[in-house]
Amino acid sequence: MRIDLTGKSALVTGSSQGIGLAVAAGLAGAGARVVLTGRDAGRLEEAAAGLPGEVTWVAGDLTTDAGHAALIEAVPAVDVLVNNLGIFGSADPLAISDDEWRRYFDTNVLTAVRLTRHHLPAMTANGWGRVLYVSSDSAVVTPAEMIHYGVTKTALLGVHRGFAKAAAGTGVTVNSVLAGPTRTGGVEDFVRELVPGDLPWEEAQRRFMAEFRPQSLLQRLIEPEEIANMVCYLASPLASATTGAAVRVDGGYVDAILP
């Protein structure tokens, strides 16, 4: 199977590092023209320079009206939209303020809703397009130490299913990817928060998986490229019959026999 996105354009939010950057690299490697987004222009420029093909970037805060408008002006239309932007962190469930709940929903959900609302009509008019949301195993197995994150990822599943129905019969597919515990810079910091002591990384990772993610059948953190492989497949013409789906790349973390 060869993923070929030659001639297609793709926008990946939150793509200066981690899963987003891995997705952008995969799409660019498949021939797509890729646009990176993030708040730090320097990191975006560095990330773009390391990718193959035609890669550009737009810096801005997509949680603001100005940041969203600037991105739409710079990138008015795309063939593939990957809503990857997200924040996470541990918190006492009873101490999460209303403002923090709003920040998580603004970042993890509403940025994706706004971009989908803009790009989906043109995709359906063209008869082809891909809208993808990077969700999480936390969408269905809510972690006690970050329920605000988990609930926003649950919300994305409803968002993608609803937009998939709005695009029914048009040639546009809308899907979510349930990413399992993935090794990114942010997750490494998260592991260090939860695993006490100055342990070597491999031992800290093993303790984190054993104590906080014991359901994982993989029994290790997933690499960002492993998530990107699924996103790139779903973004391609090969996945033309998959829509409205929540596809798992979770290392067997979710204890269910259905996807």
Q: Report the Cα 212 to chain-centroid distance in Å.
A: 22
Angle at 39 between CA 33 and CA 41, to 5 degrees: 65
From the number of C-beta atoms within 10 Å of its C-beta (0-12, 13-18, 19+), residue 234 rates as: buried
| Best CA proximity match to 12, nearest among 3, 30, 2, 167 | 30
Q: What is the DSSP string of 87-132?
A: ------GGG--HHHHHHHHIIIIIHHHHHHHHHHHHHHHHT-EEEE
Whole-number Å distance between alpha carbons of 125 and 119? 10
Whole-number Å distance between alpha carbons of 226 and 52? 19
Catalytic status, residue 104: no
Structure tokens at 24: 């952008």
Query: 104, 133, 149, 253: which one is catalytic?
Result: 149
Catalytic residues: 149
